[in-house]
Copies of this chain bind each other. A is one copy, B any other.
């Protein structure tokens, strides 16, 4: 009998909140916290932030095992810009606990594991080995941004990061706008926070005036905001965006 691979959501406040974070039960369902508290084996994008997460779990529901003896193994770092590829053979080794009947958690730096992060290959490997996969509810910055955008929520796509190089980036923005127009489909992208402003400038400089642009910044944080407007009106206003807070960008042509 194999164990289960639980996909455990993380909060969206990674390192952004100053001071003591609120109780984890404010941001995650108790059912999720209870499951996290009893898992003794984890695969994580980042072991250090996972330990911080488990401390927050412990403050709500005591861990069944000392944090020191919880096993946390980091996912191999993906190659920058690599396409979604077949899982590397060593991923199977990460699945030893569930293969031996022990439940395991997969957790990301923020939000749902395997969405907009490198965890999907491990989930794929779990399916190939016949391990049961159970996703637990939590915040998804992409869906919160989409929901708050007022753009089309019945057809949408997420395409990750745009190229950094200006000419390529401009071409990609035009391509996404054309796709959006053809299919009536909201296109979502993300950016490393310190490039938020550069991306906003590129979007405003490239998109048609009538295209609607939505930005959600600092989702779930008290300072968070969402603004949706036509590109023409974005251009007319003072449009600033913090350099140190994650943002999601959506467009609908």
What are 26 A-B pairs with beta-carbon distances under 8 A?
Answer: A23-B30, A25-B30, A27-B29, A27-B31, A29-B29, A112-B147, A114-B146, A115-B146, A115-B147, A116-B154, A122-B150, A123-B147, A124-B228, A133-B148, A134-B226, A135-B147, A135-B148, A135-B219, A135-B226, A137-B139, A137-B220, A140-B143, A143-B143, A154-B158, A155-B159, A159-B183
A156 — which chain B residues lie within 8 A by C-beta?
157-158
Per the bound structure, the CA–CA distance linking A114 and B111 in Å amounts to 19
A185 within 8 A of B: yes
Rounded to whole Å, the gap between the CB of A210 and the closest CB of chain B is 12
Name A144's contact: one of B120, B121, B135, B184 (CB within 8 Å): B135
Q: How many residues of A contact B (CB 8 A)?
A: 67
Given contacts A115-B146, A127-B228, A143-B143, 19 further A-B contacts (CB under 8 A): A25-B29, A28-B137, A83-B184, A113-B147, A114-B147, A114-B153, A117-B153, A120-B149, A120-B150, A123-B150, A124-B151, A127-B150, A127-B226, A127-B229, A135-B144, A135-B219, A142-B143, A155-B157, A155-B160
A84 within 8 A of B: yes
A184 — which chain B residues lie within 8 A by C-beta?
83-84
A165 within 8 A of B: no
A114 — which chain B residues lie within 8 A by C-beta?
146-148, 150, 153
Chain B's closest residue to A149 (CB) is B123
Rounded to whole Å, the gap between the CB of A92 and the closest CB of chain B is 13
A152 within 8 A of B: yes
Is the Cβ of B147 less than 8 Å from the Cβ of A84? Answer: no
Rounded to whole Å, the gap between the CB of A189 and the closest CB of chain B is 10
Per the bound structure, the CA–CA distance linking A67 and B63 in Å amounts to 37
A204 within 8 A of B: no
A22 within 8 A of B: yes
Q: Contact string, A25-68, partner B, CB cutoff 8 A, digits 1/0?
A: 11111110000000000000000000000000000000000000
Rounded to whole Å, the gap between the CB of A72 and the closest CB of chain B is 19
A119 within 8 A of B: yes
A126 within 8 A of B: yes
Chain B's closest residue to A119 (CB) is B153
A195 within 8 A of B: no
Is the Cβ of A134 less than 8 Å from the Cβ of B224? Answer: yes
A132 — which chain B residues lie within 8 A by C-beta?
225
